[in-house]
Chains A and B, each alone.
Chain A
Amino acid sequence: MYHRIFQLVGRYLVLVLGVVLINFFLPRMLPGDPLDFSTGDGLDTAVPITASARTQLAAYYHLDDPTLTQLRSYLVDLFVGDLGLSISRSVPVADLILARLPWTLALLLVSLVFSAGMGTVVGMVAGWTPGKRRDRLLVSISGMLAAIPEFLIAMSLLLAGAVGLKWFPLYGGETVFTDTGRGASYSIRQALDIAWHLILPAATLALAGVSAFILVTRDATAGLQNEPWLIAARAKGLSERQIALRHALPNVAPHLITFFGLRLGGVLSGAIVVERVFSVPGLGLLGFQAIGARDYPVLQALFLLSGLGVLLAAFLVELTYLCIGSAGRSRR
């Protein structure tokens, strides 16, 4: 058991190192020079820079140090949480990220929980009678849902919920310039206001992720239909509902744990787009603004953070499996 955990930790440490090294080497290996003041669109702005100024700048930013020296200082900085300065805002990238992180985390968690819950229910309903019309309909709908890019789902919800029905706000994470008072009622009202703003973005991410959960649950449930214990439970006279909740669900759940971990990367990618449509001030909007400003320290930090987050989630899933597996073995 411990041997296997060590193996797992070792494997993931290699992957983490891979992400960190990619992050370090990408800007250095790709064409382009940080001291060429180019817009990258083929329209080079005329910023004349003399050879001596160039050497000075390169020395100031340690660009002419050997790569290994640069790598060492990069790793040391990373270790103390120094992600560099943002180009467009002149504040540390780490501060920017920390300020935006809660919004994205809230969106991620709420949407993951919703899509897992919705996916389990719909998937079990579909897989309960595999091959029947209800099953085929639900599976094809979820297939179509998976084929639609997140920003199209986001726009449809925005048009329906905010433009058409006017139930939800058009953009933003909270109502600005309002005086909601002080004290406990203030916090409650603020929380409600934020929840009201985040319903549409969270629903978008939940819908974008739900089809994977539906298909996994559906296949797992359909696979159970010939199990002897299920037939025994039916013969015992249990209602279908009892069979589904008490007997089938615990057997489907492990598949869902895997997916919960795997979806994280997809939801992170989706958040970039969805936060842009709804102007939620989270990491995704930060990334979108960084694209416009060619602020690559910010984008590097976002890539690093999302890469590490996804690896952590995958690691936890595998660890859970190891623990479940060994618990099962020892009980037997």
Chain B
Amino acid sequence: MTRRPLLFWVGSVLLAIFAGIAVLAPVLALHDPRQPLALPLSTPSRHHLLGTNDLGQDNLSRLIYGTRSSLIVAVSVTVLSTALSWIAGLAAGFVHRLESLLIGLVDLLLALPDLPLILLVLTLIGATQANVILVLGLLSWPAFARVVRAIVIGARVSPYVEASRALGGTSAHIIVHHLLPATLDAVPTKLVLTVRYAVFAEATLAFLGLSGGNTISWGEMLNQTFRDPLLFSRDVWPWLIFPPTVAITALILATVWVGSGLTTHRTTVRSGKFLP
């Protein structure tokens, strides 16, 4: 058993709380987040603990439902992106004919500035939550595909793969039983980095007005807030700005802390300090 840094546990607890809020959103939210229920831009009261926005919707309920879209985007993008980079990395490392094509594509995608490209594509196909997930997933696989390819190339010439081949192992058998497991070591880092990227990107896109018409998200709440030119002359402005800001920051920091906790664990295992 290894000791992990305190921040790792803080991050894990925070992530668990966020997940709980996302799952239990309909129970936790006292109001319908889409219904205008009270005076617009009213300061906190007993019925609306965080006040209301410019449409008279309850801020707290929107904050709770916003957790959902952040986590949905984060999880879906991570699954999609990890799967894609595995396939591309294994293909580039194993199939010679695909190698130069895939590496060229990876180089091009890594060189391009991602936000202008995402903005262009989302404006062309329309910004719905599904499209946001699709675009972020399809654009975030290259970096890890490179890592997978490097590991696969290293493992391909290793004695155990050679032995497996000599014993009559097919390519599919070698990929599934030897090459894929060799890449598992790098997966936790990839997962954490992609979750962070997805939360970051979803919030930024929503802040720029690309979250899809009916989606409630933290970035979208801030986008709506900043559309008001007289924002800072209203008493309610801290209640409009701080809750979503704190939520986004907390989710991202929790991911970072969990990630750095995992990597310290991995390096200590690698250096053999805690192994018998």
B104, B107, B208, B260 — most chain A CB neighbours (10 Å): B208
Interface string of A270-287 (1 = CB under 8 A from B): 001100110000000001
Contact A149 B248 (CB under 8 A): yes
- A277 CB contacts on chain B under 8 angstroms: 226
Name which of A78-86, A114-122, A239-247, A294-302 contacts chain B: A294-302
Contact A155 B245 (CB under 8 A): yes
Among A27, A163, A307, contact of B113 (Cβ-Cβ < 8 Å):
A307
CA distance A287 to B115 in the complex (A): 11
B116 is an interface residue with CB less than 8 A from chain A: yes
- A150 CB contacts on chain B under 8 angstroms: 204
Q: Which residues of chain B from 97 to 116 have any CB-CB distance to chain A below 8 Å in the complex?
A: 104, 107-108, 111-116
B132 CB to nearest A CB, Å:
13
Among B108, B121, B200, B232, contact of A149 (Cβ-Cβ < 8 Å):
B200
Contact A27 B124 (CB under 8 A): yes
CA distance A314 to B248 in the complex (A): 32
- A311 CB contacts on chain B under 8 angstroms: 111
A272 touching B119 in the complex, CB below 8 Å, given contacts A149-B200, A150-B204: yes
B203 is an interface residue with CB less than 8 A from chain A: yes
CA distance A268 to B212 in the complex (A): 24
B210 is an interface residue with CB less than 8 A from chain A: yes
Interface size class of A (residues with CB under 8 A): 35 or more
Contact A314 B111 (CB under 8 A): yes
Interface of chain B, main secondary structure: helix
CA distance A149 to B145 in the complex (A): 25
- B125 CB contacts on chain A under 8 angstroms: 30-32, 40
B30 CB to nearest A CB, Å:
27
A42 CB to nearest B CB, Å:
7
A290 is an interface residue with CB less than 8 A from chain B: yes
B256 is an interface residue with CB less than 8 A from chain A: yes
The residue on A at minimum CB distance from B126 is A40
Contact A291 B123 (CB under 8 A): yes
B209 is an interface residue with CB less than 8 A from chain A: yes
A41 is an interface residue with CB less than 8 A from chain B: yes
The residue on A at minimum CB distance from B207 is A151
CA distance A100 to B155 in the complex (A): 51
B44 CB to nearest A CB, Å:
18
Q: Which residues of chain A from 15 to 58 have any CB-CB distance to chain B below 8 Å in the complex?
A: 15, 18-19, 22, 26-27, 30-32, 38, 40-43
Interface string of A174-212 (1 = CB under 8 A from B): 000000000000000000000000000000000000000
- A163 CB contacts on chain B under 8 angstroms: 232
B180 is an interface residue with CB less than 8 A from chain A: no
- B213 CB contacts on chain A under 8 angstroms: 41-43
Among A148, A292, A303, contact of B249 (Cβ-Cβ < 8 Å):
A148
The residue on B at minimum CB distance from A12 is B111
User: A31-B125, A265-B113 known; 6 other A-B pairs, CB under 8 Å?
Assistant: A14-B104, A26-B121, A42-B128, A272-B208, A273-B204, A276-B226
Can you list 10 A-B contacts (CB < 8 A)? Answer: A18-B108, A26-B120, A147-B196, A147-B252, A149-B204, A151-B207, A276-B207, A290-B123, A299-B119, A306-B116
